[in-house]
Structure 1
Amino acid sequence: MTREKTVLHIDMDAFYASVEKNRKDMEGPVVVCVYSGRSEDSGAVSTCSYDARELGIHAAMPITIAKDIAENAEQEVHFVPMDKEYYRSVSDRIREEIYERYADTVEQASIDEAYLEIPEETDDAVEVAEEIQKEVGEDFHLTCSIGVAPNKLVAKIASDRQKPEGLTVVREEEVRGFMYGLEIEDIHGIGEITREKLESLGINSVEELANAENALLVEEFGENFGPTLKEKARGKDSSEVKPQEQKQITRITTLGENSSIPRYIEKYFPELAQEIVPKADEKGVGFRKISVIVIDDEIQMHTRSTTLKSHVNDKKIIIQEGEKLLEEFLENFSGQVRRIGLRISDLKEIEDQSSLGDF
């Protein structure tokens, strides 16, 4: 049995904090911070784990205030610097290894959010969502909340209904009832100013907005935004899930033991490159930029890159250039390497892929 197109909106739960918990093997509340550098604790909270939120810590809070709250807590609270590059590498792997196996089209809305358009011939999109949650948990030790709906607007709202690790399904015939059960500000794109303007027009609920006179909305919000508000209230959204070109392919692994010896670390390059090249083959792309990613024993990330003269797709080139970059980095590095990674970027579709000999 076939069905109409279905959209999944996947929202990773407290993604940055959850990734940090995993890679540093931490227990308890985790607070991810953006440090300004002016002083040891200057800056603001980027995000935090759910148990940190229960303590009263939240995004945009000054780090000093968050630490004051932590001091009064009866448990250890971990403060870590934001490492967006590493989070992106995890996000890329989830997309490559899970999302793209289930969906015709994947739109990466942000590092921790994605829209998936499920093929019409798929019998049960809800089953697909459950499998995705299961694989994200088993393969990455993370959780995600998913909204399943006929369009992007409703799917995004639905994914936020039961967090963390929630699954909210809104079928076509349920859209109106689902939307009418929301507060006006629950609809994405309606902020405080818009809500206040609607209230001044006597519109205080989603149902009232859905049934409002077009002329009234146009007069207040204009010919485009006014009718759009009404369509949103009705759960209507014609925007497509837009596939986006992947900008990089990254693989990172943990060493058997911490080391600063090039030959030992380079042993991991063939396996990493072997995982990268088939992904490039699947997409029909070559690369012009190669990077080595070093995560040291203090969990700090270092990246070194080189740019080639032309786009290629050859495992030997990745390994060869990776070895050069690693050795150059280690010459001025006094610590120990805990994790090592390789990345290809500056991707481009190519027909006749250049080889090592051409390079």
Structure 2
Amino acid sequence: MKNSSRERITLHLDMDSFYSSVEVRDRPELKGLPVVVGSDPKGGSGRGVVSTCSYEAREFGIHSGMPISKAYRLCPDAAYLQVNMKLYKDTSEKIMDVIRIFADKFQQVSVDEAYIDIGDSISDYESATLLAQKIKNEVKRLQGLTCSIGVAPNKVIAKIASDFNKPDGLTVVRPEDVQDFLFPLHVSKIPGIGKKTQPILQEMGIESVGQLASCDVQLLIARFGKFGVVMHQLANGIDMREVKEREEVKSISTEDTFDEDISDPGEIENSLAGLSEKVYTSLIKKRFRFRTVTLKVRFEDFRTYTRAKTLHAATTDKEAIRKTSLSLMEEFLGKGRFRLLGVGVTKLEKIDERQTCLSDFL
């Protein structure tokens, strides 16, 4: 049966608490303990956030993105570990190599997530379920880690399904079961519906996916514009996106959370220079030019803003990153102390090997 004449079957694989699971795998004495990976808590006065944590730590209310100081207050006896990105990336590469073997089309979307299109090789959900279980078994056998997989008619349902029964879950949603699966869920389970959108939906009396699916789409457009249409389609299980062989790099960025809030112009300038240097190094390593420079600032009271400026032409000029970020920073100087600064570049263009000149790397 050809792919064009059958219903598509998509798998979404999500590693379980990836960073902390890798740490526990390599340090068995941590098994069963609350493990928090992120910034140094410094006895409860540390800056920065939790990158991820074990399921044992989540029982104390700790979660990704939480200030590390709050995590420490919730569970001071947890094992607090610094982020070891090289270890996680190396492990991720080995896992993704395992997954690729089973895929006709493969799309890695983060260090611990991937979509799989099984193409023409499998056309029924029984076989797809067996394949998903085989992938789980291979990841566990070769890397000693568990993952959760969703099997569904498209990407959005597969992603929601992979999170449905964590950890070590396998959730299958057949086409005839889509509404029964989606409609009882809270709207926050729809990708893209976050802290800003949820309160507005709640004001409209919409809390479940089913309520969103049955809402008049014109009302959603009036409140959310084009995103209203997208939300309505996703709530009804409609997602026409295909699994892409390769995910395009859209941005390169880095940020720094300070041990102590800063306001001195000299310190700010030095920080932006260092961040610009890191972005430039990554840019050249990945062989991209950029057109837009972005700045991210977070004040001591957690107010966060982003600004961007697009240049006339694509470039690899390190000074352009530094000077533009400084220019964007002027709006915020003198308005408070800063907890975090970030610099990034977008609107990237791949450098053609044949057109590369020495000046690109000086």
Q: Compute the TM-score of the two structures, normalised by the length of structure 1.
A: 0.62
C-alpha displacement of 1:127: 0.7
Helix, strand or coil at the partner of 2:101: helix
Counterpart code for 2:71: A
Aligned match of 2:220 in 217, 220, 231? 217
Q: Superposition pairs for residues 21-40 of structure 1, below 5 Å? A: 21-27=24-30, 28-35=33-40
1: CA distance between counterparts of 2:157 and 2:216? 23
Percent identity between the aligned chains?
A: 43
Give the match for residue 194 of structure 2: 191
Is 1:46 the counterpart of 2:87 in the alignment?
no
Give the match for residue 134 of structure 2: 131
- Structure 1 segments (4+ residues) deviating >6 Å: none
Q: Superposition pairs for residues 1-359 of structure 1, below 5 Å? A: 3-27=6-30, 28-35=33-40, 41-71=46-76, 77-96=78-97, 98-122=98-122, 124-222=127-225, 224-244=226-246
1: CA distance between counterparts of 2:147 and 2:136? 6
Give the match for residue 261 of structure 1: none
C-alpha displacement of 1:47: 1.2
2: CA distance between counterparts of 1:49 and 1:91? 18
Contact 1:108 1:114 (C-alpha < 8 Å) held by counterparts:
yes
1: CA distance between counterparts of 2:169 and 2:247? 29
What are the superposed Cα offsets for residues 129-168 of structure 1, whole Å, 9 maximum, x if unpaired? 1001111111111001111101000001111110100111
Helix, strand or coil at the partner of 2:64: coil
2: CA distance between counterparts of 1:178 and 1:170? 7
Give the match for residue 357 of structure 2: none
Counterpart code for 1:206: V
Counterpart code for 1:240: E
Shift in alpha-carbon separation, 1:64–1:184, aligned structure 2, 3 A: closer
2: CA distance between counterparts of 1:40 and 1:193? 29
Contact 1:10 1:146 (C-alpha < 8 Å) held by counterparts:
yes
2: CA distance between counterparts of 1:13 and 1:111? 12
C-alpha displacement of 1:26: 2.9
Shift in alpha-carbon separation, 1:148–1:78, aligned structure 2, 3 A: same
Shift in alpha-carbon separation, 1:93–1:53, aligned structure 2, 3 A: same
1: CA distance between counterparts of 2:117 and 2:12? 9
Helix, strand or coil at the partner of 1:242: coil
Shift in alpha-carbon separation, 1:41–1:132, aligned structure 2, 3 A: same
C-alpha displacement of 1:213: 2.3
Q: Compute the TM-score of the two structures, normalised by the length of structure 2.
A: 0.61
C-alpha displacement of 1:40: 9.0
State how many pairs are aligned: 247
Counterpart code for 1:6: I
Give the match for residue 348 of structure 2: none
Helix, strand or coil at the partner of 2:168: coil
Contact 1:7 1:115 (C-alpha < 8 Å) held by counterparts:
yes
Shift in alpha-carbon separation, 1:208–1:113, aligned structure 2, 3 A: same
2: CA distance between counterparts of 1:245 and 1:152? 14
What stretches of structure 2 of length at least 5 have no aligned partner? 250-284, 287-350, 354-362
* Greater gyration radius: 1
